[in-house]
């Protein structure tokens, strides 16, 4: 018996629908001849929904695409929004995918390449051919000697792709080791480290906190047989990728001045957080902050200047004066 009637379109789960929409948006914008209005974006990708819902969804999708290297920015004037790819900020440095990213990309994209209902399948096939040689049947390239970390990371990705919980032993930042059962929801790489986002399972099978775990702190990963799970539809991995000064409750919003020649680099480091505007010749980045002290140090390291709040400007100034004093001594 066929799974679907001849005229019935297969139903997509949340992950498949999201992957299809993101790929469609990315390919459409890269082939657009000019800026695209918000009305056209809404009609083409989001259907009949309230405008506020469409705006939130498109902002989330732009954030997801920015994490993949494709930055879509507002090039309109005032309330007349128009959207286009920021070529200077997109695909910085031609960096290749991490192994975890390649595994997730494979899971999300491979079915679409051979799906006749996906109108961009030919373009997708060409794009995947250019991605990286780690887009293959092998999810991880084994290092010489096949380290235990590789096997544990591979087990985490296998858990994600099969939606199977895992029993793990994990060492936290204080060096305390404990056992827990996790449902893996996603992966990301940040500043040279790989992270997994997972929900902790309680004894009754329910889930409690969702948090980030560093992949190199797992000492054991064992799949739980005969159990599966679904990733919540409202889960977005980018919601768990924070900048160093965003750990903890938000205390203020910072405003930074970014030099034009540094914009592309800082956008890449910003991981899609905050909003960008051009005010005359000035490039302004506004972003939520939890720690003013860390934000000041981060600004110095990234060669950007804080404009507000006053507390951040004062902290940044004192830190610079301290660096100058140390240099003189």
Query: Do 189 and 221 reside in the same domain of the chain?
Result: yes
How many domains is the chain partitioned into structurally? Answer: 3
Query: Do 254 and 280 reside in the same domain of the chain?
Result: yes
pLDDT, one tens digit per residue, over 141-193 is 333 333 444 688 888 888 888 889 999 999 886 788 999 999 998 887 665 56
Domain stops at, among 215, 235, 255:
235
Query: Do 175 and 222 reside in the same domain of the chain?
Result: yes
Distance CA 54, CA 47 (A): 9
Query: Do 219 and 272 reside in the same domain of the chain?
Result: no
Q: What percent of the chain has a predicted confidence (pLDDT) above 90?
A: 19
Q: Is residue 98 part of a domain?
A: yes
Domain stops at, among 235, 257, 276:
235
Query: 165 vs 120, 204, 235, 295, CA distance in Å?
Result: 34, 14, 17, 36
Query: Do 100 and 125 reside in the same domain of the chain?
Result: yes
Strand partners, 310: none
Q: Is residue 7 part of a domain?
A: no
Distance CA 268, CA 294 (A): 19
Give the Cβ contact number of residue 82 at 10 Å: 16
- Beta-sheet strands, E only, within 68-202: 72-74, 82-85, 166-171, 177-190, 193-201
Domain stops at, among 186, 214, 235:
235
Distance CA 189, CA 328 (A): 38
Query: Do 78 and 155 reside in the same domain of the chain?
Result: no
Flag whether pLDDT at 116 surpasses 70: no
Q: Is residue 188 part of a domain?
A: yes
Query: 152 vs 24, 222, 273, CA distance in Å?
Result: 33, 9, 30
Distance CA 72, CA 146 (A): 40
Domain CATH number, residue 299: 3.30.70
pLDDT, one tens digit per residue, over 86-108 is 877 776 444 455 545 555 555 55
Distance CA 4, CA 17 (A): 18
Q: Is residue 6 part of a domain?
A: no
pTM of the predicted structure, to 2 decimals: 0.44
Q: 148 burial class (0-12, 13-18, 19+ CB within 10 angstroms)? A: exposed
Q: What percent of the chain has a predicted confidence (pLDDT) above 70?
A: 71
pLDDT, one tens digit per residue, over 224-273 is 988 999 888 878 777 777 787 887 788 999 999 999 888 888 887 787 78
Of 182, 187, 28, the C-alpha closest to 104 is 187
Flag whether pLDDT at 306 surpasses 90: yes
Full residue range of the structural domain in which residue 57 is found: 14-131
Flag whether pLDDT at 31 surpasses 90: no
Flag whether pLDDT at 135 surpasses 70: no
Strand partners, 253: 288
Q: Which two tokens stand for residue 80?
A: 């007349």
Domain CATH number, residue 164: 2.30.30
Query: Do 202 and 124 reside in the same domain of the chain?
Result: no
Per-residue model confidence (pLDDT) at position 152: 84
Query: Do 186 and 261 reside in the same domain of the chain?
Result: no
Distance CA 45, CA 73 (A): 17
HEC secondary structure over 190-239:
ECCEEEEEEEEECCCCCEEEEEEEEHHHEEEEEECCCCCCCCCCCCCHHH
Query: Do 208 and 167 reside in the same domain of the chain?
Result: yes
Q: Are 295 and 289 in contact (CB under 8 A)?
A: yes
pLDDT, one tens digit per residue, over 143-153 is 333 344 468 88
Rounded mean pLDDT, 123-144: 38
């Amino acid at each position: 018996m066929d799974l679907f009637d001849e005229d019935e379109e297969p139903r997509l789960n949340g992950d498949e629908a999201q992957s299809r929409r993101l790929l469609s948006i990315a390919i459409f914008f890269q082939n657009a001849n000019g800026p695209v209005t918000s009305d056209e974006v809404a009609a083409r990708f989001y259907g009949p929904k309230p405008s506020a819902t469409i705006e939130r969804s498109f902002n989330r999708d732009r954030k997801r695409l920015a994490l993949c290297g494709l930055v879509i920015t507002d090039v309109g004037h005032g309330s007349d929004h128009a959207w286009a790819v920021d070529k200077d900020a997109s695909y910085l440095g031609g960096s290749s995918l991490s192994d975890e990213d390649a595994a997730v990309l494979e899971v999300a994209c491979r079915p679409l390449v051979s799906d006749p209902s996906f109108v961009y399948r030919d373009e997708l096939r060409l794009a995947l051919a250019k991605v990286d040689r780690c887009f293959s049947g092998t999810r991880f390239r084994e290092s010489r000697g096949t380290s235990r970390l590789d096997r544990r990371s591979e087990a985490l990705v296998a858990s994600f792709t099969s939606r199977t919980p895992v029993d793990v032993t994990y060492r936290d930042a204080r060096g305390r080791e404990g056992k827990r059962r996790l449902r893996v929801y996603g992966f990301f790489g940040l500043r040279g480290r790989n992270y997994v986002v997972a929900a902790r399972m309680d004894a009754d099978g329910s889930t409690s906190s969702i948090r980030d775990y560093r992949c190199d702190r797992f000492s054991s990963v064992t799949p739980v047989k005969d159990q599966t799970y679904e990733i919540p539809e409202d889960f977005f991995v980018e919601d768990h990728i924070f900048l160093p000064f965003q750990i903890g409750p938000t205390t203020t919003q910072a405003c930074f001045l970014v030099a034009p020649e540094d914009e592309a680099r800082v956008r890449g480091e910003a991981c899609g957080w905050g909003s960008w505007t051009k005010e005359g010749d000035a490039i302004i980045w506004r972003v939520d902050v939890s720690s003013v002290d860390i934000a000041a140090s981060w600004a110095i390291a990234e060669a950007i200047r804080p404009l507000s709040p006053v507390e951040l400007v004062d902290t940044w100034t004192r830190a610079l004066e301290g660096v100058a004093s140390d240099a003189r001594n």
